[in-house]
């Protein structure tokens, strides 16, 4: 099969493209696939240089019934199926790997239908993943003979059931193939512990953890006062199953990539230098997302701050016809016609402080024609589209994509029922121009009781329109 030839090709080109080194503290990872800057290029185009070391494909937003979404990077499906078939991305994945970069598939995201009901279901799905995206075999493989380098867990909904069992079984498959290295990564929010990934992080193996230091009180913009890399370093050294796990500084790729937390390249370098001199668990920097970071120019600043990249150094690789492909990477800029969410529909319920920030909806007919941000909802100053009539209560009825606050818990409407989730210790739930967030009280009330209507918040930035 083709992937055996790929392995041979990787060995043959080893002197030209240095492989990704997971133990380095100067790696640069970035997410690809959701076209948040609306000018996303093909995957292969981003692999022509040595800027990124790791590219994370976003997202598999449905499992165990597999649903993939890479915006307009891949829009075709297998005949009679909803499963994407992505031959162009497959060639580009192989090209990126020949350049020494690791290509990882992210599971989860801000919206989708995912999660496990039991450990046995999770274990079985690990077998499916191995057959569909790695060295196993099945009739329908979205990336053909391309073999990915790992999976990323960006879990922003549901419970924690099954994820440790999933990782354990997948790593069993990893161990069966000594020809390459495979990785398990995750993308928790910076408040420690993460509301969804906390139990999994404590009980399963992770190689890299991309902490989202934005959209929250502990973001890069709060450095050094509330910036809490030290909490994650302590976890890495005392609680993590893998005591050599690497923690990445997750940063927005531009001012529009997140609602808060963006700092410019010079400030990010200063933070990185400080963390590097004090915390040995540091693995590098992650950005959301590659279209934002390349457009803003911060990607090249990050590469310069981290030093010359290992991935892609050396002589450019020419593909041989007998190996992966004789084609150059696809060069067209992807359009922004397909995304996880319809821009005309409210966003699906998801935690507010994650890889994707909130953006305001255009006012509807019942509201002012002004494009000004929504007013904070606090106490009696309710928006006209609020529908709860009071505090969100766990398990009570709600509608659409409502979100809200109940003191030190934030509320999400999931399948018509409120789900209340505690904020990090010391923080309280508030609603501001960016949506529902957990933040330091700063003298304000700590018993906020408020609800947004289904139309008051737009889809998250990072998904195409």
462: region left, alpha or beta (phi > 0 left; psi from -120 to 50 alpha):
left
Which of 238, 235, 187, 239 has its CA nearest to residue 213? 187
For the stretch 126-131, contacts whose Cβ atoms lie closer than 8 Å and that sit 24 or more positions apart, written own/partner, are 126/165, 126/166, 126/167, 126/168, 126/169, 126/170, 126/172, 126/173, 127/169, 127/173, 128/64, 128/66, 129/170, 130/170, 130/173
Rg, Å, the chain Cα set: 22
State how far the Cα of 100 lies from the Cα of 260, in Å rounded to an integer: 33
Annotated active-site residue 327? The verdict is: no
Ordered DSSP codes for 224-257:
TTT--HHHHHHHHHHT-SSTT-EEEEEEESSTTS
The residue with tokens 């239908």 is 113
258 neighbors 288 (Cβ within 8 angstroms) = yes
Residue 30 DSSP label: E
Angle between helices 2-12 and 87-98 (to 10 degrees): 30
Q: Which of 52, 79, 121, 156 is catalytic?
A: 156
State how far the Cα of 87 lies from the Cα of 319, in Å rounded to an integer: 16
| Catalytic annotation, residues | 156
């Amino acid at each position: 099969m083709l992937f055996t030839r790929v392995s041979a090709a990787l060995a043959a080109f080893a002197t030209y493209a240095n492989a990704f080194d997971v133990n380095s503290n100067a790696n640069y990872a970035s997410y690809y696939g959701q076209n948040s800057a609306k000018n996303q290029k093909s995957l292969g185009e981003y692999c022509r240089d040595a800027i990124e070391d790791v590219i994370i494909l976003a997202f598999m937003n449905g499992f165990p019934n597999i649903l993939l979404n890479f915006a307009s990077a891949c829009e075709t499906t297998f005949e009679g199926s909803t499963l994407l078939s992505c031959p162009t991305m497959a060639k580009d994945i192989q090209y990126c790997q020949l350049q020494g970069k690791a290509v990882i598939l992210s599971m989860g995201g801000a919206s989708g239908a995912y999660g496990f009901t039991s450990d046995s279901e999770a274990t079985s799905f690990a077998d499916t993943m191995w057959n569909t995206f790695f060295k196993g075999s099945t009739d329908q493989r979205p990336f053909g003979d391309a073999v990915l380098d790992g999976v990323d867990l960006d879990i922003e909904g549901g419970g924690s059931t099954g994820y440790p069992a999933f990782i354990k079984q997948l790593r069993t498959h990893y161990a069966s193939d000594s020809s390459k290295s495979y990785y398990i990564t995750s993308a928790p929010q910076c408040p420690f512990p993460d509301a969804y990934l906390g139990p999994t992080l404590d009980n399963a193996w992770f190689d890299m953890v991309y902490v989202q230091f934005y959209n929250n009180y502990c973001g890069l913009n709060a450095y050094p006062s509330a910036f809490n890399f030290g909490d994650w370093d302590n976890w890495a050294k005392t609680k993590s199953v893998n005591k050599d796990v690497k923690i990445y500084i997750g940063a927005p790729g531009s001012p529009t990539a997140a609602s808060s937390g963006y700092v410019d390249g010079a400030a990010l370098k200063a933070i990185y230098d400080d963390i590097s001199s004090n915390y040995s668990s540091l693995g590098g920097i992650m950005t959301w997302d590659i279209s934002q970071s390349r457009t803003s120019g911060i990607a090249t600043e990050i590469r310069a701050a981290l030093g010359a990249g290992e991935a892609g150094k050396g002589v450019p690789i020419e593909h041989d016809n007998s190996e992966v492909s004789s084609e150059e990477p696809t060069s067209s800029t992807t359009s922004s016609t397909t995304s996880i969410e319809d821009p005309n529909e409210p966003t699906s319920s998801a935690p507010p402080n994650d890889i994707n920030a909130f953006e305001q909806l255009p006012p509807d007919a019942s509201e002012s024609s002004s494009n000004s941000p929504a007013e904070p909802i606090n106490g009696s100053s309710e928006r006209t589209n609020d529908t709860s009539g009071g505090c969100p209560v766990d398990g009570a009825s709600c509608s659409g994509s409502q979100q809200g606050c109940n003191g030190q818990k934030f509320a999400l409407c999931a399948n018509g029922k409120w789900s209340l989730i505690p904020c990090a210790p010391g923080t309280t739930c508030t609603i501001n121009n960016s949506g529902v967030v957990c933040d330091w009280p700063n003298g304000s009330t700590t018993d906020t009781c408020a609800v947004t209507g289904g139309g008051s918040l737009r889809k998250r930035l990072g998904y195409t329109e």
